[in-house]
Amino acid sequence: MHPFFIYLIQANIALSVFFILYTVMLKRDTFLQLRRLFFLSVILFSLLYPFFTLPSLTLIRDLFSPASPETEVSVLVGELEMATVVDDPGETPRAMPWNVLLPMVYGAVTFLFILRFLSQLISIFRLRKKSSIQWISGIPVYQLDDDITPFSFFHLIFIYTQKHTDTELNQILLHEQTHAREMHSLDILLMEWLCVVSWWNPFTWLMKREMAMNLEYLADNGVLTRGVNSREYQYHLLRLTYHKTAVPIVNNFNVSQLKLRIMMMNQSKSPANRLGRYLLILPLALLFVTANSIYAAQREPVEADTPMLDPAVVETTQKQLQLSTDNANLPEQVQAALHEQGLQQPPPEKKKEEIFVVVENQPEFPGGNEAMMKFISDSIRYPAIAKEKGIQGRVICNFVVMKDGSISDVQIVRGVDPVLDAEAVRVLESMPDWKPGKQRGQTVNVRFTLPVVFRLTGNESKVIIDELRTNEGDLLVQASVSSNFIFPGEENGLFKFISDRIKYPVEAQKNEAQGLVNASFRVDNAGNITDVKIESGENAILNKEVLRVIKEMPQWVKDKSYLVSGRVTDSDLQPLQGTSIILKGTNMGTITDASGNFQIKVPGKEGALVFSFIGYKTTEVSLSNIKTGNGAIGTKLAVVFRLQGGDTTEPYSGPTPDNAIVVVGYGSKKLPEVNDPR
């Protein structure tokens, strides 16, 4: 659920509870000023307490989560790997999900209440504009043209003077001056705005009515304390009963609950010992802050409860990430996005020099291109081990001729085998300094691409140097866009669901069973979990536990975003690993895997994806031109069960995917053996 709606629910629960306290304990006393302070205090507290937590109160959570004396399990949750599996050619229309419909309905109704509130404000200023000012007893009064009940709005007092005697006008002025002097209009505006955003809560409207009545009680009391006869004043109110009232957001001299006002004027003063009832708001306030602290602790990871990351997992993840980012030469937007997700350390800040691919005066190898070809042909050797194994293919290299003519940043854009790749890099790095290139008379850095072909023909081996070029090759993109389904709940709801439910089976721990379980499932067009299966796993008990958790998942919901899946290749249909893909105009991006495949979530079908790779032309693909697919979302889930501690001497040390869920068991604690003394 969206955080704003969670906040609204929290605030309105507090308002409702405080109003019930008022109705049961406080409504029948005569402490009018204290009652006004109560209303304002509970409103401000209800609106603000969701933003505050007391860290010490989060310890209460631990009282309700006792640890098992037998087994301890830590769950490390990574990111699931998802891919789109095309099923049907057409998309089946589905009903709009509640998480989309609810905000639309709420927003529409709230907008209507805002218009209503603004129209009331405008009507007040219209009355002021067309009313003439008349001074009565030294007080400016706006003379109304219609027979409307007198009212005030802040310091503005409106009266239809032709229907009132001098005595009545004096009483009305005393009443409205009390409203103006004590700023009662602030209370009215506060409640009006509260009703605008919480129109769905009946207790909000009831509190608004009670606050308005209490303000009238205060104004009536202000009249009576000035020496006005109580009975005469009450008869005056009765004569105004059938007069039409002004807009709801003002303080009217007469309101419909006239009987209650007269009863309050005639009610005896409440005894002082009833003041203690107002102290009941303190334990209630503490209760709400405590509940909010516990709720916040459940949503945010606590350091003491954070699962311990296995060093091998961290090291493997960092190495894989470093390798992928280095090979891909990601643009700054992707690196920034990865860094925000905590996937890599920020690179040290350094001034980056511009690298050109086309310049006015190209760099030159000493003696020209023919000399360069001869140098490489004479220097390069076909590795013997590659000959023996029959390894051949085209290695596409990339390097930069720096301003001083030196060779730098030699990379393998697309390799064949580490042995062949290393030989190509060795020769390029051994080249002598070039004559640097120039742009507008200034020496600049220029990047070149050089394909080197290692070929075996019969018993002969050949190394062919293709043409050196600065022009970039073409990227080929195959992609489809489909609806996205997400696990219901908060952003990390799926991971929380798995971590809360998955257990390290006791029997598996006793048998010291551990290992990697690779499972997969699909989310169909209705959000249902289907085709749950184990792709690999050596222990039946561990496999069964993973299947159990997946099958307990609730129905997934359709997200407003979309998934774009596809593959990036070169002109020879060879995959380009590490191609950076950016949603144009944002920092949202991803890179292709070893097979050239990618998947990226986009907020809509508008905009474009930008594909870039060193040595190839940057390609922009409009989302509107990508074909629409309608397949299920295939999801892979990797779970590693690992035993460590005193119960096993050989913890699992096999492969641990960087996106795996790691369940660490510490085993069943065993009593030490005791020798029989007999």
- Please check whether residues 606 and 482 belong to one and the same domain: yes
Q: Closest Cα to residue 363, out of 430, 427, 424, 439?
A: 439
Residue 60 lies in a domain: no
Place of tokens 């602790």: 297
Separation between Cα atoms, residue 481 and residue 600, nearest integer Å: 10
> What pLDDT is stored for residue 510 in this prediction?
84
- Please check whether residues 133 and 34 belong to one and the same domain: no
> What pLDDT is stored for residue 337 in this prediction?
47
> What pLDDT is stored for residue 19 in this prediction?
92
Residue 315 pLDDT level (bands cut at 50, 70, 90): very low
> 183 in the Ramachandran plot: left (φ > 0), alpha (ψ -120 to 50) or beta?
left
Separation between Cα atoms, residue 638 and residue 80, nearest integer Å: 8
**Is residue 215 within 8 Å of 184, Cβ to Cβ?**
yes
> What pLDDT is stored for residue 584 in this prediction?
87
Segment holding 465, helix H or strand E: strand 460-465
Q: Tell me how many degrees the CA angle 196-198-203 measures, rounded to the nearest 5.
A: 120
Residue 471 lies in a domain: no
> What pLDDT is stored for residue 44 in this prediction?
92
Residue 660 burial (CB count, 10 A): 24
- Please check whether residues 242 and 287 belong to one and the same domain: no
> What pLDDT is stored for residue 36 in this prediction?
92
Residue 328 lies in a domain: no
Residue 231 burial (CB count, 10 A): 10
Residue 639 burial (CB count, 10 A): 24
Q: Is 449 exposed, middle or buried (0-12, 13-18, 19+ CB in 10 A)?
A: buried
Place of tokens 């053996």: 673
- Please check whether residues 81 and 139 belong to one and the same domain: no
> What pLDDT is stored for residue 206 in this prediction?
93
Residue 294 lies in a domain: yes
Q: Closest Cα to residue 185, out of 265, 119, 120, 109?
A: 120
Across 132-146, 254-268, 597-611, least confident range = 254-268
> What pLDDT is stored for residue 79 in this prediction?
45
> What pLDDT is stored for residue 273 in this prediction?
85
Residue 83 pLDDT level (bands cut at 50, 70, 90): very low
Choose the final residue of a domain: 435, 465, 495. 465
Separation between Cα atoms, residue 590 and residue 625, nearest integer Å: 20
- Give yes or no for residue 506 having a pLDDT over 70: yes
- What is the average per-residue pLDDT within 610-638? 80
- C-alpha separations of 286 from 18, 52, 438 in Å: 13, 11, 73
Residue 526 lies in a domain: yes
Choose the final residue of a domain: 411, 437, 465. 465
Separation between Cα atoms, residue 339 and residue 337, nearest integer Å: 5
Separation between Cα atoms, residue 15 and residue 524, nearest integer Å: 42
- Please check whether residues 37 and 170 belong to one and the same domain: no
Residue 312 burial (CB count, 10 A): 15
Residue 398 lies in a domain: yes
> What pLDDT is stored for residue 249 in this prediction?
65
Radius of gyration of the chain (CA): 38
- Please check whether residues 197 and 251 belong to one and the same domain: yes
- Please check whether residues 490 and 636 belong to one and the same domain: yes
Token pair listed for 660? 């795996």
- Please check whether residues 459 and 497 belong to one and the same domain: no
Token pair listed for 652? 């699992």
Residue 62 lies in a domain: no
Amino acid at 507: E
Q: List all residues 6 or more positions away from 162 whose beta carbon is below 8 Å from its beta carbon.
A: none
Residue 207 pLDDT level (bands cut at 50, 70, 90): very high
pLDDT tens digit string along 216-226? 888 888 888 88
- Please check whether residues 557 and 660 belong to one and the same domain: yes
CATH code of 419's domain? 3.30.2420.10
**Strand 661-665 and strand 632-643: pairing?**
parallel
pLDDT tens digit string along 154-202? 888 888 877 787 788 888 888 888 888 889 999 999 999 999 999 999 9
Domain count, the chain: 4
Residue 297 pLDDT level (bands cut at 50, 70, 90): low
- Please check whether residues 158 and 202 belong to one and the same domain: yes
> What pLDDT is stored for residue 344 in this prediction?
45
Comparing 302 with 378, the larger pLDDT belongs to 378
Best-predicted range by mean pLDDT (145-154, 429-438, 470-479, 557-566): 429-438
Q: Is 658 exposed, middle or buried (0-12, 13-18, 19+ CB in 10 A)?
A: middle
404 lies in which domain range? 367-465
**Is residue 593 within 8 Å of 600, Cβ to Cβ?**
no
Segment holding 196, helix H or strand E: helix 184-197
Amino acid at 459: N
Residue 263 lies in a domain: yes
**Strand 81-85 and strand 139-143: pairing?**
unpaired
Choose the final residue of a domain: 231, 253, 270. 270
- C-alpha separations of 471 from 295, 354, 370, 621 in Å: 58, 17, 19, 21
Place of tokens 């792709």: 535
The beta-strand segments (E) located in 504-631 are: 515-523, 529-536, 557-569, 580-583, 589-591, 597-602, 608-612, 619-622, 627-628
Residue 57 burial (CB count, 10 A): 17
- 3-state DSSP: the chain helix, strand, coil percent, rounded to 5? 40, 25, 35
Q: Closest Cα to residue 131, out of 145, 150, 152?
A: 145
> What pLDDT is stored for residue 449 in this prediction?
81
- Please check whether residues 498 and 612 belong to one and the same domain: yes
> What pLDDT is stored for residue 469 in this prediction?
62
CATH code of 645's domain? 2.60.40.1120
- Please check whether residues 202 and 281 belong to one and the same domain: no
Separation between Cα atoms, residue 268 and residue 365, nearest integer Å: 107
Q: Closest Cα to residue 212, out of 238, 244, 177, 186?
A: 186
